[in-house]
Structure 1
Amino acid sequence: MKATIWHNPACGTSRKTLAILQETPGVEVEVVEYLKTPPSAEKLAQLYHDAGITPQQGLRMRGTDAAERRLPNADDANVLTAMAAQPALIERPLVETDKGVRLCRPQDLVHEIL
C-alpha cells in the first residue's frame, strides 16, 4: 500500500505519524514536506473532501495569522487559496492512502486508513 504524508519534520505529531507509517509492514511511504512543496488549492480541496472535513477544519490556528485574517469564517475557496499561498496555514499531518485521507491529530488516526 502506498501512503503519502504531508509532513513537517519540526512537528512532533507529524514525526510520530511518519514513524507509524514507516513501521507498518507493506506500506510504501511518500513524504512531502508541504512547507517546501505546498499542495495546490485543488489538491487540498480533494484531500479535505476525502477526509470528510472542511478546509476550515484543516486550518492551523496555532502560530499562524489565520484568526486575524478571519479565515475560520471565510468561504472554502478563500481558505484553500490562502493555504496554497501560505502552507504554514495547513494543519498537519495529512495522510492519504487508497483507503482514504486523515488529518492525523492525534497520530493514531492514521490506523483508520492503513
Structure 2
Amino acid sequence: MNKMVEQKMNEMTDVFNSLPNCRVETSEDGKVLILSDTPVPWSDTLEKKDAHSEYKIGSITPHKAALGLYIDFPHNLLDIDRVEDIVDPNITLTYVEAGSKASNVKSW
C-alpha cells in the first residue's frame, strides 16, 4: 500500500471510529470492516461472501492507488438517483447492478 493510500486509510478509519455507535475493526482474514454497535436489520439479506457479521455495515478495501469504500444496504432501499444526490453531486459515479462485476475503468 503506498503512503497516500495508507494516509487516506487512517483518515477514513478515524472518520468511522468517530461516529457514534460505529467502529472499524480488522477481521481474522484481514478485511477492514465497518461495524455498528447493534445488529443491522438487513444482515441476513447480504450475500454470504459479504455477511461477515450481523453488525457489519460496510468495509474499506485498500487498493494499489485508491481506497474502496463499500457500504451495505438492502436491495431496493435506495435508488441510484437518491444515492447520486447524496454522495456524488457531480454525477461521476457509475452504477453497477447488484451481482455484476464493476469495471475498473472508473474506480476511485
Fold match, TM over 0.5?
Answer: no
TM-score by length of 1: 0.25
Larger radius of gyration: 2
Report 1 or 2 for greater relative contact order, CA contacts < 8 Å, sequence distance ≥ 6: 1
